[in-house]
C-alpha cells in the first residue's frame, strides 16, 4: 500500500496546490477568513472589480476554461469527407472507369470526388464554426458585481477577485470563497462522490491540508447550488480550480486502451471486443450510429441505394449478355451512379448550419441539431406564465388590510420608481368593490420614501412583512449629469420580479429593507431566512427588533399555504381568532383579486417567544439548524393581509397563441399561480375561450379545460386518459405535475415542447420531446434543454416552430429534387437498354459525364438554393408534420415517384422523337465510345435528351418552392411574382446561370464530342421546348390534383366544433 502511495507521489506534480488561487495566496483560500481573501485578491465585496481591472486580469490570468481540444478540428472534418459511404461509392465507380480505361469518365469522376471533398470540407468547416460560435451563446452565465452593478457575464470571463451571486439551480462558475450564505447547500458529487448536498458556512476557517469535501466555506466550479443563496469571491479559475486539477491528472495519466484489452487473457474476450470495435467503426463510418435522426435515415437510404445500384448494374450487364466490353461496363457504372444522390449530405450540412444561425437572429439558440429537425413536428407547447406569456415586470396593483381597506396603486410608466404614480384607499374589501365606484375612493398622492410618513400600526406591520420577508433591494442612484433636472431620478432594483414589486410598494410608504436592516441605524437585525420552494410555497425571514430585542418572523406566500399556518388575524388594531368563517371571507377576497388577473400573496407574522440564538450567523450560515426550526416557527401566525401583483401579458402573446392554434399546435399554460389569476391571463391571451364560448362547449370538455394541480394529480393515469381532452391550464402547478402532463400527452401520441427556468423544471425539460429553457433561467435548466430562448418570450417559441418548419420543408424540397431526378435517370437508363446498336449493345441515352454534370453541376447548386428558401405563406396554417414518417411522408414518396416518372417520360420521349420520329432510327455502332458520322443521329438525340433533362432539373427546383401552390400563382401581378423568384438570389442564379451554361457544353469543340459525347442541335430545340413544357404542365396538373384532394379532405374533416373542442 505504501509503495503504491510512493509511486503515486512520484508522478509529475500538478502545476498548483489544491485550494490555491491562480496567483498563490499566503494560504489556501479555505484557510483564510473571508476578509483576508478579499484583501489578498484586492476586491471590494460591495462593488466588485472595475471593468478595467477585470479585463486586465482576464488577459493576465487567462479565461475561465479547462484545457480541451478545439471545438472545430479541420483535419478531422477533412478526413470525414474522404472516409464516408458516399465517397466510397464514387471511388468504386472511379476504379471501374479506370479499370476499363475510360480515362475521360474516370478523370471527371476524380475531379468530382476532389471537388466534393474540398467543397464539403469548406462548407462543413464553416458549419462547424457557426455551430461552435452558437455554443458560446448558450454557455452558462453568472451574476457578478462590476463597479457596484450586477451584470450577467459568461463564465469563461470570470476572473479571480470577481464577486459572484449564487442562487438555487446555479452552476458554480469557478472556485469561490463564500462571503455570505443563507441556507446554502451544494451538490458536490461530481468532485467528492458524496450524494447528499453539502451545507456551507462562510464563517468557518480550516487547516491548509483540509480535503476538498470538508471545506465548508468554499464552493467549487461545476458543482450545483441545490438550496439557498449566497455570495462569494472567486479565487481560482480554469485549470487552477479543483475540477481543473482532475482534468490535469486525466490528461497526464489516462489509461491506455491497449492495457484494457490486455486485462483479459481470454482469446474469446479479445475477439468479442475486436468485433464490437469493428461494428462500432462501421456504424460511424457509414453514418448509421451517429448524427441526427435525419442524417441516420439518409445513411440508411444510401446503403439501400448502393444495393439498388449494384442490382441495376447487374441488370445492365444481363441485358447485354454479360458482355465485358468497355462500353457495356461503363453503361452499368453510369446506371449505378444515376441512383446515388451524391450532393445530398453536402447540402444538408449547409442547410443545417444556416438554419441554426437564422435561429439566433430570432432569439433562439439550438443546443442540438436533432431539435432543429423536430421543431416542425411539435403538436403541444406547455408554457410557464410568468415572464414567458407575461412581461415579467410586476407591479403591485392592490393591497388589502383587514379592518383598514384596500389600497389601489397606479405605478405610471416607471415601474421601479416609488415616487411616481398614485395611491388611493377605499375602506372596503376587494370583493365589495365595484370597478365603477371611483367616487368612493379617497385619493392619496404618492409618498416619497424620504418622507417616512406616520402610518397606522396595522399598516406598519403589513409593511414590515412586505419589506423584510423579501430579498429584493431598491436604491435611488444619484445623477449629476447636465441632463438631470435633479439628483436621484434613477431607481435600480435587484432581485426576483415578484419581490421587487412588493419592495417598491413598501418604499412608497418609506419602508426599505436595506435601510431597515443594515447599517448603524438599523431597526431590525436579520437572524435567519427560510427560502421559498415549490413544495412549501412560502418564504419567511427571522428578525430581531433593535429597540425591544424581540424576535419576529415575517412570512409571505401562496394564500392557502399561509392561511394554514395562521390562527389569528389582524383586523385594524385588534387581533382576533382566525375562524373558518373568516378564512372563507379571506378566500373570497383572494378570488376577487385573482379574477382581475392579479397574482395574490398572503402576508403574515408573529412575535417569537421561544429561545432563539443571539448570533445571526448561527442561523444565517447553518441551514440545518434553520431548517429544523422552520416548521415550528411558521405556525400560529397572525394574518396581516393580501397583496395583488399584476404581470401584464406581453403584447405579442395573444397573436402568438392564436398563430399556434392556427398551426395546429395546442398551447397549455402550467403555472404556480392561483386558479383565478391563471384563468384571467389564459383567457386574455386566448389559451382559454371567453366565458360566452365556454358555455357553448360540452360540460365535460369545459370542466377539463382548467384544473388545479391538486385536481390533476388526484386522477389516475386511466382517468386522465379518459378525459375528453387534457387541461389547457393547470394552476398551482408543481414540477411533478408538469411531468405527468408530458406523460399524458405522450400517451396520446403528441409531440411536446416544454418551457422551464428553474432547477425543479429540469425533469420535465428532459422528459419533453423538446425542452425549452429561458435565457435568464438556471444553468441546470439550460443543461437539460434542447433550446434556449434568449429573450424569454413566448413569441420566440413560435419563431422557433416556424423556422423549424421552414428548415424541414426545405430539407424535403432538396431531397425530393435529387431523388426524383435519380428515379428519372435510372428509369431512363434502364428503358434505354432496349435501344441497341448494330452490334447489339445498348446505347446511352445519357452518358456518365452528362449524369455527373447534372447531379453536381446542376443539382448541387439548386438544392443548396432550395435550402435557403423562405417559408411558404401557409407554413403556420397547417398541422405539424408527422414525425413517424419524418421527411419521407406519403405525400413525399408519391411526389418522388410522380415527378421522377414524368422526368423519365420526357427524357425518353425526347430521345425517341429525335431518333425514330424525325430520323430513320439508325443507332449507329460504337456510339458509346466515340463520335463518328454514323453516330451523328445518336449524338444529336443524346444532346436533346441531355438538354431536356437539364432544363427540367433546373425548372423543377422552382416548382418545388411550394409543394402544392402553382409556380405561376400571381395574385399580386407579374412583377411581384418575379420579385419572389428574385428573392432567393442563390437559387435564382443557380437556375439561370446553368441554364445558359448548357449552350457551352453543347457547342464548344472537344467538350461536346469527346467529354460529353453529344453534338450541337438545331431543329431539335423544338423537341426540347415541347418536352420541358410537357413536364411543367404535368407538374402543375399533379399539384392541382393534390390541392383538390386536400380541399375535399379538409371539407370532410371540418366539424362544427370550435378550436377548444378535442384539441388534445
Residue 926's domain is classified under what CATH number? 1.20.1110.10
Residues 656 and 556 in one domain: no
Residues 501 and 638 in one domain: yes
Which of 646, 662, 688 is the last residue before a domain boundary? Answer: 646
Report the C-alpha gap between 463 and 407 in whole angstroms. 13
Residues 408 and 299 in one domain: no
What confidence score (pLDDT) does residue 672 get?
81
Choose among 460, 385, 362, 446: nearest CA to 411: 446
Residue 277 belongs to a domain:
no
Q: Alpha carbon of 467 to those of 537, 556, 566, 607: distances in Å?
A: 18, 10, 20, 17
Residue 1062 belongs to a domain:
no
Residue 137 belongs to a domain:
no
Q: Alpha carbon of 1061 to those of 63, 452, 701, 726, 744: distances in Å?
A: 55, 55, 7, 11, 18
CB 155 within 8 A of CB 382: no
Report the C-alpha gap between 778 and 765 in whole angstroms. 12
Q: What's the total number of domains in the chain?
A: 4
Residues 498 and 407 in one domain: yes
Q: Please name the residues in contact with 859: beta carbons below 8 A apart, sequence gap of 6 or more.
A: 343, 817, 818, 821, 953
Residue 538 belongs to a domain:
yes
Residues 452 and 317 in one domain: no
For residue 5, is it left (φ>0), alpha (ψ between -120 and 50) or beta?
alpha
Residue 613 belongs to a domain:
yes
Which of 630, 646, 662 is the last residue before a domain boundary? Answer: 646
CB 181 within 8 A of CB 621: yes
CATH number, domain of 722, equals 3.40.50.1000
What confidence score (pLDDT) does residue 1064 get?
55
What tens digit of pLDDT does each residue of 571-594 get?
Answer: 988 999 999 999 999 999 999 998
Residues 826 and 763 in one domain: no
Beta bridge partner(s), residue 231 = 165, 180
Residues 806 and 930 in one domain: yes
Residue 273 belongs to a domain:
no
What is the residue range of 804's domain? 293-363+800-1050
CATH number, domain of 454, equals 3.40.1110.10
Choose among 485, 449, 481, 451: nearest CA to 467: 449
CB 177 within 8 A of CB 171: no
- Spans of the chain, pLDDT less than 50: 1-14, 252-264, 436, 438-452, 481-488, 614-626, 1055-1058, 1061
What confidence score (pLDDT) does residue 255 get?
38
Three-state SS at 464: helix
Residue 292 per-residue DSSP state: -
For residue 749, is it left (φ>0), alpha (ψ between -120 and 50) or beta?
left
Residues 766 and 846 in one domain: no
What tens digit of pLDDT does each residue of 135-156 get?
Answer: 555 567 788 999 888 888 888 8
Which of 739, 757, 792 is the last residue before a domain boundary? Answer: 792
Residues 334 and 374 in one domain: no
Residue with the three cell numbers 400571381: 970
Q: Please name the residues in contact with 498: beta carbons below 8 A apart, sequence gap of 6 or more.
A: 394, 599, 601, 645
Residue 324 CB coordination number (10 Å): 9
Residue 141 belongs to a domain:
no
384 in catalytic set = yes
Instruction: Report which secondary-structure segment, H or E, holds 899.
Output: helix 890-912
Residues 820 and 954 in one domain: yes
**Alpha-carbon dihedral angle through residues 49, 53, 58, 61, given to the nearest 10 degrees:** -100
Q: Cell digits for 884? A: 413517424
Residues 601 and 629 in one domain: yes
Q: Which of 170, 187, 384, 809 is catalytic?
A: 384
**Alpha-carbon dihedral angle through residues 972, 974, 977, 979, given to the nearest 10 degrees:** -110
Three-state SS at 150: strand
What confidence score (pLDDT) does residue 864 get?
87
**Alpha-carbon dihedral angle through residues 707, 709, 713, 714, given to the nearest 10 degrees:** -70
Q: Please name the residues in contact with 847: beta carbons below 8 A apart, sequence gap of 6 or more.
A: 105, 334, 928, 942, 1012, 1013, 1014
Beta bridge partner(s), residue 218 = 177
Residue 415, CB-side half-sphere exposure with 13 Å CA sphere: 18
Residues 416 and 307 in one domain: no
What tens digit of pLDDT does each residue of 1022-1052 get?
Answer: 999 999 999 999 999 999 999 999 888 877 7
Residue with the three cell numbers 503515486: 8
The most distant pair of C-alpha atoms in the chain lies apart, rounded to whole Å, by: 118
Residue 375 belongs to a domain:
yes
Amino acid at each position: 500500500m505504501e509503495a503504491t502511495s510512493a509511486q503515486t507521489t512520484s508522478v509529475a506534480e500538478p502545476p498548483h496546490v489544491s485550494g490555491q488561487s491562480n496567483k498563490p495566496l499566503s494560504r489556501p483560500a479555505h484557510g483564510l477568513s473571508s476578509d483576508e481573501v478579499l484583501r489578498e485578491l484586492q476586491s471590494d465585496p460591495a462593488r466588485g472589480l472595475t471593468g478595467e481591472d477585470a479585463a486586465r486580469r482576464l488577459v493576465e490570468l487567462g479565461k475561465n476554461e479547462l484545457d480541451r481540444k478545439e471545438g472545430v478540428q479541420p483535419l478531422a472534418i477533412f478526413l470525414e469527407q474522404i472516409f464516408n459511404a458516399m465517397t466510397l461509392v464514387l471511388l468504386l465507380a472511379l476504379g471501374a472507369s479506370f479499370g476499363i480505361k475510360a480515362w475521360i469518365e474516370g478523370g471527371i469522376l476524380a475531379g468530382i470526388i476532389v471537388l466534393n471533398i474540398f467543397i464539403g470540407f469548406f462548407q462543413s468547416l464553416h458549419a462547424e464554426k457557426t455551430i461552435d460560435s452558437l455554443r458560446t451563446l448558450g454557455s452558462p452565465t453568472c451574476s457578478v458585481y462590476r463597479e457596484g452593478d450586477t451584470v450577467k457575464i459568461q463564465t469563461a470571463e470570470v476572473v479571480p477577485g470577481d464577486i459572484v451571486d449564487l442562487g438555487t439551480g446555479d452552476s458554480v462558475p469557478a472556485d469561490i470563497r463564500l462571503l455570505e450564505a443563507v441556507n446554502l447547500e451544494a451538490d458536490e458529487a461530481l468532485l467528492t462522490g458524496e450524494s447528499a448536498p453539502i451545507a456551507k458556512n462562510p464563517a468557518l476557517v480550516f487547516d491548509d491540508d483540509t480535503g476538498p469535501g470538508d471545506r465548508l466555506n468554499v464552493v467549487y466550479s461545476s458543482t450545483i447550488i441545490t438550496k439557498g443563496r449566497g455570495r462569494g469571491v472567486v479565487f481560482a479559475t480554469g485549470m487552477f480550480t479543483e475540477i481543473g486539477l482532475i482534468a490535469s491528472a486525466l490528461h497526464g495519466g489516462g489509461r491506455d486502451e491497449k492495457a484494457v484489452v490486455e486485462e483479459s487473457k481470454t482469446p474469446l474476450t479479445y475477439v468479442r471486443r475486436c468485433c464490437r470495435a469493428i461494428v462500432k467503426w462501421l456504424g460511424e463510418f457509414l453514418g448509421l450510429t451517429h448524427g441526427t435522426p435525419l442524417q441516420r435515415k439518409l445513411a440508411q437510404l444510401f446503403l439501400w441505394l448502393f444495393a439498388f445500384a449494384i442490382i441495376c448494374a447487374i441488370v445492365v450487364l444481363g441485358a447485354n449478355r454479360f458482355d465485358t466490353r468497355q462500353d457495356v461496363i461503363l453503361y452499368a457504372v453510369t446506371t449505378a451512379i444515376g441512383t446515388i444522390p451524391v450532393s445530398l449530405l453536402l447540402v444538408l450540412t449547409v442547410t443545417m448550419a444556416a438554419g441554426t444561425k437564422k435561429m439566433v437572429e430570432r432569439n433562439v439558440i439550438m443546443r442540438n441539431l436533432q431539435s432543429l429537425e423536430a421543431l416542425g413536428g411539435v403538436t403541444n407547447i406547455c408554457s410557464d406564465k410568468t415572464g414567458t406569456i407575461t412581461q415579467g415586470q410586476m407591479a403591485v396593483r392592490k393591497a388589502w388590510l383587514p379592518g383598514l381597506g384596500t389600497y389601489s396603486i397606479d405605478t405610471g410608466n416607471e415601474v421601479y420608481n416609488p415616487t411616481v404614480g398614485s395611491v388611493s384607499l377605499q375602506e372596503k374589501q376587494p370583493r365589495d368593490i365595484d370597478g365603477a365606484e371611483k367616487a368612493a375612493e379617497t385619493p392619496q398622492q404618492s409618498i416619497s420614501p424620504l418622507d417616512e410618513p406616520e402610518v397606522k400600526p396595522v399598516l406598519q406591520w403589513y409593511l414590515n412583512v412586505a419589506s423584510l420577508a423579501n430579498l429584493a433591494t431598491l436604491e435611488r442612484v444619484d445623477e449629476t449629469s447636465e441632463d438631470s433636472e435633479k439628483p436621484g431620478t434613477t431607481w435600480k432594483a435587484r432581485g426576483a420580479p415578484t419581490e421587487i414589486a412588493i419592495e417598491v410598494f413598501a418604499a412608497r410608504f418609506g419602508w426599505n429593507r436595506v435601510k431597515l436592516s443594515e447599517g448603524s441605524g438599523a431597526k431590525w437585525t436579520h437572524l435567519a431566512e427560510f427560502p421559498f420552494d415549490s413544495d412549501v410555497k412560502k418564504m419567511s425571514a427571522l428578525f430581531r427588533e433593535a429597540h425591544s430585542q424581540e424576535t419576529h418572523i415575517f412570512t409571505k406566500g401562496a394564500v392557502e399555504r399561509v392561511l394554514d399556518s395562521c390562527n389569528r388575524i389582524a383586523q385594524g388594531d385588534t387581533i382576533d381568532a382566525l375562524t373558518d368563517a373568516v378564512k372563507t371571507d379571506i378566500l373570497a377576497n383572494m378570488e376577487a383579486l385573482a379574477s382581475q388577473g392579479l397574482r395574490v400573496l398572503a402576508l403574515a407574522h408573529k412575535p417569537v417567544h421561544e429561545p432563539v440564538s443571539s448570533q445571526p450567523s448561527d442561523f444565517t450560515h447553518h441551514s440545518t439548524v434553520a431548517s429544523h426550526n422552520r416548521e415550528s416557527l411558521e405556525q400560529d401566525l397572525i394574518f396581516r393581509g393580501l397583496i395583488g401583483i399584476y404581470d401584464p401579458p406581453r403584447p405579442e402573446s395573444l397573436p402568438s397563441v392564436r398563430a399556434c392554434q392556427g398551426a395546429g399546435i395546442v398551447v397549455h399554460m402550467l403555472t404556480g399561480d392561483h386558479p383565478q389569476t391563471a384563468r384571467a391571463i389564459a383567457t386574455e391571451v386566448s389559451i382559454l375561450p371567453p366565458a360566452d364560448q365556454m358555455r357553448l362547449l360540452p360540460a365535460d370538455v369545459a370542466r377539463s379545460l382548467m384544473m388545479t394541480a391538486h385536481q390533476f394529480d388526484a386522477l389516475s393515469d386511466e382517468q386522465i386518459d379518459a378525459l375528453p381532452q387534457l387541461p389547457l391550464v393547470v394552476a398551482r402547478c408543481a414540477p411533478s405535475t408538469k411531468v405527468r402532463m408530458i406523460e399524458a400527452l405522450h400517451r396520446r401520441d403528441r409531440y411536446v415542447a416544454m418551457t422551464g427556468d428553474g432547477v425543479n423544471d429540469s425533469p420535465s425539460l428532459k422528459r419533453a420531446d423538446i425542452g425549452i429553457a429561458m435565457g435568464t433561467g438556471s444553468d441546470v435548466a439550460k443543461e437539460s434543454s434542447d433550446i434556449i430562448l434568449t429573450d424569454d418570450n413566448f413569441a420566440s417559441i413560435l419563431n422557433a416552430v416556424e423556422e423549424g418548419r421552414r428548415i424541414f420543408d426545405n430539407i424535403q424540397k432538396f431531397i425530393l429534387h435529387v431523388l426524383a431526378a435519380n428515379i428519372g435517370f435510372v428509369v431512363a437508363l434502364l428503358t434505354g437498354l432496349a435501344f441497341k446498336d448494330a452490334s447489339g449493345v445498348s446505347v446511352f441515352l445519357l452518358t456518365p459525364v452528362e449524369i455527373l454534370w447534372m447531379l453536381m453541376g446542376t443539382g448541387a447548386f439548386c438544392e443548396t438554393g432550395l435550402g435557403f428558401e423562405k417559408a411558404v405563406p401557409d407554413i403556420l396554417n397547417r398541422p405539424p408534420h408527422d414525425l413517424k414518417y419524418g421527411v419521407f411522408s406519403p405525400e413525399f414518396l408519391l411526389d418522388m415517384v410522380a415527378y421522377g416518372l414524368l422526368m423519365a417520360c420526357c427524357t425518353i420521349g425526347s430521345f425517341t422523337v429525335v431518333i425514330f420520329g424525325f430520323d430513320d432510327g439508325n443507332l449507329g455502332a460504337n456510339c458509346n465510345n466515340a463520335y463518328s458520322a454514323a453516330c451523328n443521329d445518336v449524338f444529336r438525340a443524346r444532346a436533346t435528351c441531355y438538354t431536356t433533362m437539364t432544363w427540367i432539373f433546373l425548372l423543377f427546383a422552382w416548382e418545388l418552392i411550394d409543394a402544392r401552390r402553382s409556380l405561376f400563382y400571381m395574385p399580386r401581378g407579374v412583377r411581384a411574382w418575379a420579385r419572389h423568384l428574385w428573392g432567393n438570389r442563390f437559387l435564382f442564379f443557380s437556375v439561370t446561370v446553368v441554364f445558359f451554361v448548357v449552350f457551352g457544353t453543347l457547342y464548344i469543340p472537344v467538350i461536346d464530342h469527346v467529354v460529353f459525347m453529344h453534338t450541337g442541335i438545331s431543329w431539335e430545340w423544338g423537341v426540347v421546348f415541347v418536352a420541358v413544357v410537357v413536364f411543367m404542365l404535368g407538374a402543375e396538373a399533379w399539384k392541382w390534383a393534390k390541392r383538390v384532394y386536400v380541399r375535399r379532405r379538409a371539407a370532410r374533416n371540418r366539424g362544427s366544433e370550435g378550436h377548444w373542442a378535442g384539441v388534445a
